[in-house]
Structure 1
Amino acid sequence: MLRPTVFAATLLAAAAASASPGHKPGHGHDERAYGEPGDPRRPARIVQVTMREADGRMTFVPDRIAVRRGEQIRFVLRNRGALDHELVVATLEENLAHAKEMEKFPEMEHDDPNARRLAPGRSGEILWRFTRAGEFDFSCLIPGHREAGMFGTITVK
């Protein structure tokens, strides 16, 4: 599989730019504007998300998720569609930029703690802790999928 490093470098730069003041990349944690990878030793609220196609649209159910700042979420993902789908948690700006990269490299697969790609009938998880308040995006960035309606919003208060 093709795993371009260009986008990984872009994400690292964005993460460094959005990290807390005084944070130096590569020094102990992977915090981004929308949070950090979860800790499997800590409790997490389970949020089930179904990926599917229906009536000419591609969707996540639910497509709106409310989270408390500091809360750890275990996204339990199920692909109930007939196509591969993925869920990528990021800022809207990061996901839109990433979608453009995916157009150039449609077979790109993610090896990131904030993303999971699933074949039809498969399930998977993302464990994420939301450390900052705001509105964040989750999208399927396989070319054409976001445009077909496969995106949602995470509101952290």
Structure 2
Amino acid sequence: MNRPFAILALSILPALSWASGGHDAPAHGMPGHDMSTMSAAPSTIGRPGDSAQVTRTVEIKMDDSMRFTPAEIPVKAGETIRFVVKNTGRLMHEMVIGTMADLKEHAMEMRKMSGVKHAEPNMITLAAGKIGGLVWTFDQTGTVDFACLIPGHMEAGMVGKVTVG
């Protein structure tokens, strides 16, 4: 394992171990969507955060009305957020952070691979009534999207925005 990747892996393990407590799905590889190899360099959507660097906790509720509450979240550039995500519905839901183009592409792949479960550092999938977490650092100003990519959910309006200022 090369040194920069090893350092990145060690820096995100605490965040991933905390977040994985809410995952109800085993990981799978999705070509073009493996966020685990992201470098520590700034990206337009940010990067997995270090739980020791969390500056704020934001609670997000997901429900069967196909909405996130809140659906708009303001953060400061460089801020590391701990998202406490609650599925208050009866259906499985997920929160995936990305660009809208990537989210739409991933949603199309999910429709083609119905029933395939996945886990990435930029997402959390929760069964009905479950609570989990995700730690993310927002590096650059702009807008970062999030959505539920379970087939039909994003299309029904289950999307949100993080405004990084």
The two structures have a TM-score, normalised by structure 1, of 0.81
Matching residue's letter, 2:54: P
Separation in structure 2 between the aligned mates of residue 2 and residue 43 of structure 1, nearest angstrom: 26
Give 1:106 shift: 2.4
Q: Give distance in 1, aligned partners of 2:69 and 2:37.
A: 35
Q: Are the aligned partners of 2:42 and 2:140 in contact in 1 as well (CA < 8 Å)? A: no
Structure 1 stretches of 4+ with a deviation exceeding 6 A read none
Normalising by the residue count of structure 2, what TM-score does the alignment of the two structures yield?
Answer: 0.77
- 2:118 is aligned to 110
Q: Which amino acid in structure 1 is aligned with residue 85 of structure 2?
A: L
Q: Say which of 21, 26, 33 aligns to 1:11.
A: 33
Provide the C-alpha distance between the structure 2 equivalents of 1:58 and 1:65, rounded to a whole number of angstroms: 17
Q: In 2, are the aligned partners of 1:52 and 1:80 still within 8 Å (CA)? A: yes
Q: Is the 8 A contact 1:2 1:107 kept in 2?
A: no
The structural deviation recorded for 1:137 is: 0.8
> Given the alignment of the two structures, is residue 48 of structure 1 paired with residue 59 of structure 2, yes or no?
yes
> Would you say how many aligned residue pairs link Structure 1 and Structure 2?
141
Listed as ranges, the matches of 1:27-106 within 5 Å are: 29=40, 32-53=43-64, 57-106=65-114
Counterpart pick for 1:135 among 143, 148, 157: 143
Higher helix share: 2
Task: Give the aligned CA root-mean-square deviation in angstroms.
Answer: 2.3
Deviation per residue, 1:114-135 (Å, 9 max, x gap): 1000000001001000001111
Letter in 2 for 1:11: H
* 2: CA distance, partners of 1:47 / 1:109: 25
Gaps of 5+ in 2: 1-24
Identity percentage of aligned residues: 39
Aligned 8 A contact 2:78 2:139 in 1: yes
Relative to structure 1, the CA distance from residue 77 to residue 99 in structure 2 (aligned partners, 3 Å threshold; closer, same or farther) is: same
